[in-house]
A = this chain, B = another copy of it.
Amino acid sequence: MITSHDVARLAGVSQPTVSRALRDDPKVSEATKQRVREAALALGYSPSAIGRALSVGRSTRVGLVVTDLENQFYAHVIAPMHHELERLGHELVLITESSESGPVAEHVIGHGLCGVVLATTTVDSILPSRLHDRGVPFVYFNRTAPNVPADSVTVDPEQGIRELLADVVAKGHSRVGAIFGPRNTSTGELREQTVRAVLDEHGITLAHRDVRHGPFDFRTGHEGMHALAGRADPPTLVLCGNDVVALGALNAAAELGVAVPGDVSIAGFDDLPTSSWALVRLSTVAYDLDAMSRAAARMIVARADKPEAEPVTEVFPTRYVPRTTIGTARS
């Protein structure tokens, strides 16, 4: 490996001068900088980020903690988050909660990340408090945990759900079912409560047998729809916890031969790219996931810079995107 000492030797300066010159320190003369840059180029030298990290006591690597990497939702957060981090001179390292290499908190601390973004927090996860105790900067992305305050980027589902349900009611649905997300996530819980409250304003109550819960994945929607639509007397509409769940439901409907929206209407939440496919055309609730992901990136680097600043929180509005999976209620 070639180091700043090699460059120093070639340029005929001291090693610290190489360090300063390459970081464009104003205290170094232009002539020297020039000489150093040439030497560095000649040797193909690039400074070791790890030497630097050890020296300054902080790295430029942020971790993204996710449980389900396979889930397409996360592809759409990883991409923009990575780009924004790169723009800020940081790297993205992936961490999953199911880490076999021991507790995530230890992993995070040991691996010298300057901060982490938590994308799959549950209400009962211990990670936030562990990170807090160890002084590791972090931000909540999308989901939050109630007990440990920290920066967060979230979405406010209300407006989108109101618009969606207004359409649902206008189309004559009164027998509505739902496949909600997990109860132990802030997003799952908030969306469910909002749906129930707004439905209530319209005089509609969800029948217990028309409701399912499960992880925000394809399978939940798939199995949920089989359960709900496979019955003699199914609801005319099924609200899904998110688009991936709705995609599962849509496919289950196709398997069952139940027409959407002829026999049953379906709604999602997230408006992923797949939802606008001609083959899908899912009516859903949208928000700017791309901007959210980038905001989280900016937030974590800012936080790493000023660990003591007041927690900030950014919330993104939602809107209804009607497509073709919600039709007039069959009578």
Contact = CB atoms under 8 A, between A and B. Distances in A.
A110 B51 CA distance: 10
Nearest to A48: B112
Nearest to A102: B46
A111 B51 CA distance: 10
Interface in A31-69: 44, 46-51, 53-54, 57, 59, 61, 69
Nearest to A260: B279
Contacts of A254: 277-279
* Size class of the contact patch on chain A: 35 or more
A96 interface: yes
B94 A50 contact: no
A30 interface: no
Nearest to A134: B44
Contacts of A250: 279
Interface stretch (A79-87, A231-239, A303-311): A79-87
A57 B252 CA distance: 53
B96 A82 contact: yes
A129 interface: no
A255 B280 contact: no
Interface string A184-220: 0000000000000000000000000000000000000
Interface of A: 1, 44, 46-51, 53-54, 57, 59, 61, 69-70, 72, 74-76, 78-79, 82-83, 86-87, 89, 91-96, 99-101, 106-107, 109-112, 133-134, 247, 250-252, 254-255, 273-274, 277-280
